[in-house]
Amino acid sequence: MNSSIRRTVSSASRSVVFQWPSKCSYRPFSQSSSRAAMTAPKVMMPKAPAQMSMKTRLNDTMSGINRDMIPDDIGLLPGTFIRPVWKNLPSVFQDPKMRWRMEWMHWKSKVMNFVSLFTYCKYMNKKMPMRLRERKKKAIELHKEMYTQFASGNVAALQKLCCQGLFQTFAARISRRPPSSPELVWKLHKYLRFPSSMSITGARVVSDRAAALPGASGMGIRQVVVRIQSRQSLITPSAPVSRLGEKQIQELENQQQEKQRDCTEYIVLQRLMWGGKDGDWKVWGLTEETTVEDLETNPMFAQGLTMKDRIEMLSSR
């Protein structure tokens, strides 16, 4: 019994005194025994589902949207420079520094706009035609048609010609007319050509810009600003023209001659691309010349900005 107790104590004391380290406690995880690897259960970590990129998600979202659901009135592209006519430019003698800055910004914008338009048409959209010859012709056509339909109160025709914002303005003004009032008579007497203006046709392209929608392929916008100088008149007849007699028509023509007015308008044409398909020209609205105050306050016209800086500012809006 004593011997059995002695063996137990001696074995117990040996296990306490000699603390042999376990081999497994010193072996790295990669060097574990094959037996442990066979018996230990394997824990399989679930794979994270593959996520689509932002560009792919945007393209999928846009492909499921009807083109008519997208508003076409997105505003005038930031940084659009419109050179004033000669009489509105700063004086060469009184303010030569500002005059030089205005001229420099004009030519700089002209070059940058052409480069961006060429890139948009020839590289981003698979050699799309630039349509340079049709700009003035289309502007004159839409300008005349827009005012004619507005005078007659044709809301359906205006919806096809104008972007949403301009159409809503015209529709609101037409709705305020008394139901019994006759149609207005708008007349374009002539276009102001050289030497009355610095144009042979009465229309001059002052800006032509294009920009692709960031992160989405096959989507973009193009805006053309055309200066139209013309002589117009707007008359409210006493009765519908179809009911006027010969004498009343003569009086109406005399009123048109008396109320002639020389107008300088900057009409903005817009063309949207959706899903790689180019839309029709529409009238976005009218805009104004770039002033000296615009050069001082608009960050897009700040001095020292490179072409890369302007593109980044444009895409961040």
Predicted confidence (pLDDT) per residue in 242-256, tens digit? 788 888 888 888 888
Model confidence over 112-125: pLDDT tens digits?
Answer: 999 989 988 888 77
**Which H/E stretch holds residue 211?**
strand 203-212
Higher per-residue confidence, 93 vs 239: 93
Q: Which residue has the higher pLDDT, 74 or 224?
A: 224
Residue 66 has pLDDT above 70, yes or no: no
CA–centroid distance for 152 within its chain: 31
Of residues 8 and 244, more confidently modeled: 244
Could you tell me the CA-to-CA distances from 20 to 16, 26, 259 in Å, in that order? 9, 12, 114
Q: Give percent of the chain with pLDDT exceeding 70.
A: 73
Q: What is the mean pLDDT of residues 17-33?
A: 39
What is d(CA 169, CA 150) in angstroms, rounded to the nearest whole number? 11
- Residue 234's contacts (CB-CB under 8 Å, 6 or more residues apart) are 151, 184, 185, 186, 187, 259
Domains of the chain with CATH codes = 82-316 (3.10.450.240)
Write down the H helix ranges in the chain. 2-17, 23-26, 34-39, 54-63, 96-119, 134-152, 155-161, 164-175, 246-258, 292-297, 307-315
> How many helical (H) and strand (E) elements, i.e. helices and strands, does the chain have?
11, 6
Element (H, E) at 153: none
Q: Is pLDDT of 221 > 60?
A: yes
pLDDT band at residue 212 using 50, 70 and 90 as cut-offs: confident
Separation CA 254–CA 235 (nearest Å) = 10
DSSP letter for each residue of 22-44: PHHHHS-GGG--HHHHHHSPP-P
Cα–Cα nearest to 116, from 213, 209, 220, 224:
209
pLDDT digits (tens, 9 = 90+) for 120-176: 888 877 778 899 999 999 999 999 999 999 999 999 999 999 999 999 999 999 999
For 8, other C-beta atoms within 10 Å of its C-beta total: 10
**Whole-angstrom distance, CA of residue 157 vs CA of residue 145:** 9
CA-CA distance, 214 to 272, in Å (whole number)?
14
The answer to whether residues 255 and 235 touch, using CB atoms and an 8 Å cutoff, is yes
Q: Which residue has the higher pLDDT, 314 or 85?
A: 85
